[in-house]
Amino acid sequence: MSYDMVCLIKQVPDTRNVTSDVLREDGTVNRQALPAVVNPDDLFALEMALGVKDKFGGKITVISMGPPMAVEVLKDALSRGADHAILLTDKKFAGADTLATSHVLESAIRKNGNFNLIFCGRQAIDGDTAQIGPQVADFLQIPQVTYVSEIEKTEKDRIIVKRRLEDGYERIECRMPALLTVLGELNTPRYPDVGRVIAACLERAPIKIWNAADIGVTVHDVGLEGSLTHVIKTYVPRFKRQGEILEGETNAVVKELINKLGQSEGATACKAVAAACRLEVS
């Protein structure tokens, strides 16, 4: 049996060098001020989808919501083996929180047609919420499994996966269609194929571009207006670093340390620790 699959992929700003310069007054990120990269976890999700395609056959449609330049991540996905791509771009989508974003993605998935599996990265490095996958599954009213490390078995309408835990893993069986969020660093994304790269660069790649009207959403459901959460303020914390070496008998040094910490901004927490240790703190 072959499978119709969807992989959600995102172009994200390189958050390794974020400064206050790239933040707008409304708290949103000026993505034009940072270099754009493919969200790392999404590449692992794509590789898992490609593994299913290699073994059983089928088609993979990659979908991304973002500005027009996000077409580059779709070209990258096509060059790695995806079959179709959809870019969701519209000024009405700007400033969306995870709920509004998930609504846009769900609407696009429905418009695209039937599917067996949806693959998502665990989370995006620009928000780190890990909410998009679960919210899309909830909108679609389909089963979801998070933190998937391996697909163990697929049948006609069932799938068995390994879900990673802190101290091991669990095997989960669920019916399809289903949504899986994939852990990073547990497979190795394949390199782009030269022929596919050339096709993408020559704009022969099958990329559809849809706006809000195309997927049937209104301005009240998406973007800032459709978002239930709003960023009030974003800032880069500045810490004053200083150190001191305490010497002497262990119990005396511990008491002195807790007294010093008790005079700091974390005094409440330090006093709670001291109480648990049955130490006197002035």
Is it the case that residue 126 has pLDDT exceeding 80?
no
pLDDT at 144 over 70: yes
Alpha-carbon distance 6 to 164, whole Å?
Answer: 22
**Contact (Cβ atoms closer than 8 angstroms) between residue 9 and residue 62:** yes
**pLDDT at residue number 12:** 82
**% the chain with pLDDT above 90:** 37
Query: Residue 258 pLDDT more than 60?
Result: yes
Furthest-apart CA pair in the chain: how many Å?
74
Q: What is the pLDDT of residues 59-90, one digit of tens each?
A: 999 999 988 888 889 998 998 999 999 999 99
pTM of the complete model: 0.75
> Any idea which fold 3-215 has?
Rossmann fold (3.40.50)
Distance (Å, rounded) from C-alpha 60 to C-alpha 226? 29
Q: Are 177 and 54 in contact (CB under 8 A)?
A: no
Crossing angle of helices 40-56 and 71-80, in 10° steps, is 40
Domain chopping of the chain, boundaries: 3-215, 239-282
For residue 149, give the DSSP letter. E
